[in-house]
Amino acid sequence: MERVPILYDDDCRFCRATLGLLLAWDRSRRLRPVAIQSEEGSRLLAQVPEEEWLESAHAVMPGTQGVVSGGAAAGPVLRLLPAGAPLARLADRVPGAADRGYRWVAENRGPLSRLVPVALKDRADALVRERSAGPPGS
């Protein structure tokens, strides 16, 4: 099974904590974290204008979908998670709301980062490191 790259801002505490929660939910390990700032991140985002790279998280979906970003990634990513299909359908039904919610969080991630408990950040960082270093070709 091919793992789906999830690109995140490695310098953002809130981004890493949120990604850690997604990875904890992802018991079948379908998601693979990739820092936007990494060489692989640059390669995966080559089709996205560079000024948009750090504006949101991105997922590189298999097939024709390619890179999906911000609120538009909610449905495709949620479908990969256990019991995520109902939430994916909701995100697909109200894409404007998903995008507005995502934009609000993205625009406020600095203040939100200060609310992330250190223990949660540390657990998330450990999970991101573990899942980033998966077996070759995963």
Is residue 138 in some structural domain? Answer: no
Average pLDDT of the segment spanning 38-54: 94
Residue 137 included in any domain:
no
Residue 98 in any domain: the answer is yes
- Domain assignment of residue 115, yes or no: yes
Position 127: which residue type? L
Residue 22's domain spans which residues?
Answer: 4-132
pLDDT in tens, 72-113: 999 999 999 999 999 999 999 998 999 999 999 999 998 999
Number of domains in the chain: 1
Considering the entire predicted model, what is its pTM? 0.89
Sequence-distant (≥ 6) Cβ neighbours of residue 25 within 8 angstroms = 81, 82, 84
- Residue closest to 129 by CA, chosen among 1, 3, 56, 23: 23
pLDDT, position 65: 76
